Chains A and B, each alone.
Chain A
Amino acid sequence: NAGVTQTPKFQVLKTGQSMTLQCAQDMNHNSMYWYRQDPGMGLRLIYYSASEGTTDKGEVPNGYNVSRLNKREFSLRLESAAPSQTSVYFCASSVPGHTNQPQHFGDGTRLSIL
């Protein structure tokens, strides 16, 4: 019972490099989300996809792009990494109606940008 799977678990990048974080869920959920978590800041929404084929900006979208590849997969891309993007990134999924449905989180990707 995998749930939400994120790859990689750890990554170190140099400033200016690009990278794609992968997320896949096997719960047949329509909605998927990308968050970043910084110390003392809680979780902040970067982008979300309410359903296959749609994506919307969240609270902190600058510097990121997303692709909803199919119903299962939602990727997050950093085109030109900056030290300010050092964070733990979580992917989550839910049935439609995220305002009153629980979100299921992956184990996170720990990203360091030097």
Chain B
Amino acid sequence: NAGVMQNPRHLVRRRGQEARLRCSPMKGHSHVYWYRQLPEEGLKFMVYLQKENIIDESGMPKERFSAEFPKEGPSILRIQQVVRGDSAAYFCASSPIGQGEQYFGPGTRLTVT
């Protein structure tokens, strides 16, 4: 059973471009979570999704950031018009139900130049 997969593992974008980060949850998991980790800091919750629904987006910046988890395919975290402050590691996690243990992916490291 493959674990949580994220791609790309590394992404470089120039200021003003768009970044798309993908997360494929573990098989059978319908709950997905996105976290951001700035250099030398802890993880910050961003958003919690179930298929086709956003359950909690209280950690998402109000502008430029959006997330989706369609009925088919991976969850996508989209950052429009990236700025240098968006440079961070973005981790995705999944769980089979909305409780208990979360399984994390290896992360996508975004660098904005």
Q: Do A and B bind each other?
A: no
